[in-house]
Amino acid sequence: MNVKLKVWRQKNTQAPGEFKEYEAKDVNPNMSFLEMMDVVNNEITVKGEEPVAFDHDCREGICGMCSCVINGEPHGPEYKVATCQTYMRSFQDGETITVEPFRAKPFPVLRDLVVDRGAFDRIIQAGGFVSVSTGGAPDANALPVSKQKSDLAFDAAACIGCGACVAACKNGSAMLFVSAKVSHLALLPQGQPERYRRVKAMVDQMDKEGFGSCTNTYACEAACPKAISASNIARMNRDYAVALLLNDDMPETSGE
């Protein structure tokens, strides 16, 4: 199959960007999207031009690095897959495919299709952890957890932090990501001591980073490669409301 590509090229954060057109010929339909980009980059390099910069690591849908908007959809047209798991058989022979980076103010473009998602790291640093020193690993059955809560916590913990939720949201909201990270700890016994301090710190940092608010369009859930449920946002909002009520009674974080 043959396809045409309209790829966003941008030298750095300060430089203006533009779409440039390339052709991918004799593409195997069973190639992944990133494999096709590798082939195109090889041809570009042979011509003495700069290859298209794009992020990737595991190429197994685990790391969340492969953040591309393909034909207007974060990660591409398929449901519950990352860009690296999108295959060329999802497109038509002769189709023109538009590829661009995730668009959000807190995700500045570093180069071409690569964005800086350090804002997510800073949100996690604000409180997405359990700081209590517990010593050695306890026995698996030492802390009983109900099946329902363990399943919900596991589902929330599946978030890979790719940022597709932000790219899909008309407001650039990070609430699906933050709520997943808040929920997977809030649902477990280990997360209870810092539960309300955690949610307040993470939501406050999210707002500080410049992410927008949620308007319940569920575009985030639809674009998420791990199908993280928007019900986590409701849980986070409830916990945040409680945190505001308890604010005066919450002890300072020791950092230990």
CA triple 71-76-77, angle to 5 deg:
90
Closest residue by Cα to residue 223 from 71, 57, 31 = 71
Instruction: Look at residue 139 in the predicted model and tell me its pLDDT.
Output: 76
For 66-132, what is the HEC assignment?
CCCEECCEECCCCCCCCHHHCEHHHCCCCCEEEEECCCCCCCCEEECCEECCHHHHHHHHHHCCCCC
Give the whole-angstrom CA distance, residue 41 versus residue 141.
Answer: 51
The secondary structure of 129-185 as a DSSP string is S--S---SPPPTTSS---HHHHHHHHHHHT-----HHHHHSTT-B-HHHHHHHHHHH
Instruction: Look at residue 254 in the predicted model and tell me its pLDDT.
Output: 36
Mean pLDDT per 10-residue segment, the chain (256 residues): 97 95 96 97 95 95 94 95 96 97 96 97 95 73 88 96 97 98 94 94 97 95 96 96 81 40
Closest residue by Cα to residue 106 from 8, 219, 211 = 211
Give the whole-angstrom CA distance, residue 110 versus residue 121.
Answer: 16
Instruction: Look at residue 184 in the predicted model and tell me its pLDDT.
Output: 95
Instruction: Look at residue 252 in the predicted model and tell me its pLDDT.
Output: 47
Do residues 232 and 182 touch, judged by C-beta distance below 8 A?
yes
Half-sphere exposure in the Cβ direction for 142 (13 Å, CA): 7
Give the whole-angstrom CA distance, residue 164 versus residue 53.
Answer: 18
Distance of CA 181 to the CA centre of its chain: 12
Q: Which domains does the chain have, with CATH numbers?
A: 3-111 (3.10.20.30), 117-249 (1.10.1060.10)
User: Residue 50 is encoded by which pair of tokens?
Assistant: 């700069």
Instruction: Look at residue 253 in the predicted model and tell me its pLDDT.
Output: 44
Instruction: Look at residue 134 in the predicted model and tell me its pLDDT.
Output: 63
Instruction: Look at residue 248 in the predicted model and tell me its pLDDT.
Output: 57
